[in-house]
Amino acid sequence: MSDKAQNKALSNAIITVNKLNTEITIGYGMSKPSGQYEIKSNANADSLTLNIKMLGYAAQRINIANKNQSINFELEESSIELKEVKVKPDPIKKYGDTLSYAVSAFKDKNDRVIADIIKKLPGIEVSPNGQILYQGEPINKYYIEGMDLLEGRYKLANENLNVEAVTDVEILENHQPVRMLNGVVHSEKAALNLKLKKNITTTGQVSLGAGIDPAYLLRDVNITPMLFTKNTQFLATYQTNNVGRNSASQLVRLTPGVYRGESGIENKQDWVGIQKLTNPAFKENRWLNNNSHIGSINILKKLKNNLELRLIGDYTNDVQLQTGYTKTTFFGSEADSITLLENKRNDLYFNNLKTDFTLQKNSAGKYLKNSLQIKAYWDSQTGILRNTNGTIIQQVSVPFYTLSNNYKDFFKVGKSLLTLNSSISLERKPQQLSVSPVPFATLLNADKFIQDIQQNVLQSSFFTENSVQYLKSLKGFSFDTQLGFLVEKQALESDILLQNLIKTRSVESGEFRNNLNWLNQKYYVHLQSRYRKQKLNINLSTLLNFRRFAIEDAALSKSENLNRLTFEPRLGLNYDLNNYLTINTSASKSNSFGDINQMYYGYLLTTYREIKRMNVPLLQTSSYSTSAGINYRNPVNSTFASFTYSYSFRENNLLFTNIINPNGSVERNAIEQDNNAYNQSLNGSVSKYFSKIKTTLSIGTNVFKQQSQQFINNGLTEVIMNGISPNLRFSSSLSKWFGLEYAYKLSSIKNIISEIPKPTIIQQNHDLKLNFNPAEKWYFGIITELYINNFNATQNLFSDIIFRKTVGKKKIDLEAIGSNIFNSESLLSVSNGAFNYVETSYDLRTTQVVFKARFPL
């Protein structure tokens, strides 16, 4: 065997002997370095076929006689033309505890920001408020290239980060945010991390929009630049609109906090308010009549010695108009009911400024974090309400100011860890409600000349919690001992003033004033034992609290001193059945005590038709709960599922009372009487990605039953609430020119009061989006929403249309958006409480057209 051109021997050429003119092999061999080869055959045939193949040379095929012979082959060099091969990345890969979703596998040409991708990913859900859940549980961190720029306010990045800048969306299962605790303290939560294409990434967007509806000139502006480097991350935004887009929701924290007061979803509690329209179960942009401005700056800088400095500043100025009417049906302890009709026009003014300065070090050898936060709200509300008794004017001022500092530090002591925790905060709430004409006139002993009532409230608070924690690990076990104390000192001052044209006076009786001093102290020992080995993880927590309360209102000669020792255990277990299935179960007992807003001795007018007085002992609740669940995730076939059942019951020492007057006003109080409340629920979801047709399908449901006791109009009432809420989500890119998204949700709730079933509330939402790409840079979209309310047999259909043309190398989008093209003017929704149903009719945004230009950065 030799090369014809160079006349040199060829080795490793493959020679096969086949039956004549067939592919049936009866012998084979390979050429030696000398070029020689030898093949023996015992075939019973006159002739055979000889095949010679070698990479880089043209194949030869000849027929020969079946006899002993020597044949020399001279091979000629030849190139081989390979067929085109397209390599598609796996949509989901798993590396240890990390799942990596390839953005390119889920992306289509209509996706603009990373939120468009995340909502398609199997195993991941995005709630209407923007919160991200993995396997039914909220994520505990949102990273960009492993750095936490936004401290839980990740909707800012989700809705503004250009999808072209991201290569992968990673889910970090069992994520422990404190690196010193990796392998020591097991976490059951997951985090999300975005991997960017470039080491230095400049991205974001600039969107400029203007339009009209029948009454207003419209604007929608979003300027959000971002910079991400190895040592610096920067995100700033200015957004303003009056098209119904709630941009202020991007500044809300969505991850759970570490310290007291760092609740996951921010919820400022007010003492007083106007009668609002309850938020409906359909999309906010249909009814939100707003004039909004927000600004935010976020900077994260890596310093020397693994230190990080983060600066956050947020500002919101938002004016909202609500118009519509409500029909409230109150159910008493008997079959009778009271109905209240109210026409409402509310002007809501939201103004706040929030800052956060954080210094952090988070390495395998050291953890330090100190956060200084300043928040100021100066919100107000005005409401004009008409009911059968006439017109009612409501005005509310609800400012709120807080200053807090949170400190956490880890030290290594030999092979153990010592942790110092300190949290301190100051709060002040000077709030006011004015109502005209005067409600509860008989109770307040107000004569007919009184024209206006004013409720003044001033709450001031000081809080501190400090602890030291010692953690020791040994061969799969870790033992954690925490000693700490908490001090909470609050003061509540309130007064009700009656006004006429001549003078202003306080209500004569002292029971309409509060001068309350509240002291809450807690001293605790928290022991935790953890065991983790291979597939098993066990966590036993035992918390021993000594609680002291000193509560006094000297003016009303009321006080309470309470000392309680409580024991709160919790046992949790996780077990990996295999690489795909994990089961978990837990059981716990906890004790809680009422706050200052659940115990005060004088009357407080909280709304024009609700007055409260909690002239009772301190609320004490013992809660017992258990849960069991199973999780399945298989990245190989892109299938995820989770199911959780939970059961809990509470023992309370107080029973809250509700006196419903014929005009719909409610007097709330409480009596000292033991009572129980029960709750059980089943949550489940299954999602799968079909890569061949680029389709994600998700199905889920929530079933619950709640049972409690209420005291309504001097009668003890048992209230049972049953509900079920199945949902379906479907997203598909069926071809290059067509795709669709569909979501369905049903909510069915039924109350049973004193064994008398009340009407079932059934509401359905259908959301359908059709995406057409008739040409390379053209897009046409149709958005349709159908809302069905079976409670009062109504349905509403909404449709929007979108035209988009992408121009230039920078892919600038020019859009025309028509919203509510059928001009639906109102919509009826139903919600329920323990003893009432509220039917709300909303005045909707009219047909509008907006022209936008979007410049990706």
219 burial (CB, 10 Å; 0-12 / 13-18 / 19+) is middle
Do the beta carbons of residue 802 and residue 298 sit within 8 Å?
no
Last residue of a domain, one of 48, 75, 102: 75
Which token pair is 714?
């001097």
Classify residue 758: in a domain, yes or no.
yes
Which token pair is 543?
């918390």
In the Cβ-directed half-sphere of 545, how many Cα atoms lie within 13 Å?
Answer: 20
Q: Please report where in the chains the tokens 């008989």 appear, as a residue.
A: 442
Classify residue 107: in a domain, yes or no.
no
CA distances, 841 to each of 313, 750, 796 (Å): 37, 21, 12
Classify residue 499: in a domain, yes or no.
yes
Classify residue 703: in a domain, yes or no.
yes
Last residue of a domain, one of 25, 54, 75: 75
Nearest to 163 by CA among 198, 120, 204, 124: 204
- Say what the alpha-carbon torsion angle 210, 213, 216, 219 is, to the nearest 10 degrees: -20
Query: Residue 574: helix, strand or coil by DSSP?
Result: strand
Which token pair is 56?
């880089």
- CATH number of the structural domain spanning residue 396: 2.40.170
- CATH number of the structural domain spanning residue 37: 2.60.40
Classify residue 219: in a domain, yes or no.
no
605 burial (CB, 10 Å; 0-12 / 13-18 / 19+) is buried
What is the per-residue pLDDT across 673-709, written as a single tens digit (0 to 9) for each? Answer: 999 999 999 999 999 999 888 999 999 999 999 999 8
Helices (H), 557-607: none
Classify residue 132: in a domain, yes or no.
no
Do strands 794-807 and 761-772 pair parallel, antiparallel, or not at all (unpaired)? unpaired
Last residue of a domain, one of 75, 93, 115: 75
Give residue 39's pLDDT.
82
Which token pair is 349?
């003014």
How many domains are there within the chain? 2
- What is the 8-class DSSP label of residue 276? P
Which token pair is 725?
């809420």
> Dmax over Cα atoms in the chain, in whole Å?
133
Classify residue 209: in a domain, yes or no.
no
Do the beta carbons of residue 202 and residue 192 sit within 8 Å?
no
- What is the 8-class DSSP label of residue 291? E
Cα gap 50→64, rounded to integer Å: 7
pTM score of the predicted model: 0.86
Cα gap 663→660, rounded to integer Å: 8
Q: Please report where in the chains the tokens 């095949």 appear, as a residue.
A: 51
CA distances, 772 to each of 149, 250, 259, 775 (Å): 36, 29, 48, 9
Domain residues for 763? 225-343+371-856
Do the beta carbons of residue 286 and residue 798 sit within 8 Å?
yes
Cα gap 765→770, rounded to integer Å: 17
Give residue 382's pLDDT.
97
Report, as ranges of residue numbers, the positions in the chain whose pLDDT lies below 50: 259-265
Do the beta carbons of residue 204 and residue 226 sit within 8 Å?
yes
Query: Residue 720: helix, strand or coil by DSSP?
Result: strand
Do the beta carbons of residue 54 and residue 30 sit within 8 Å?
no
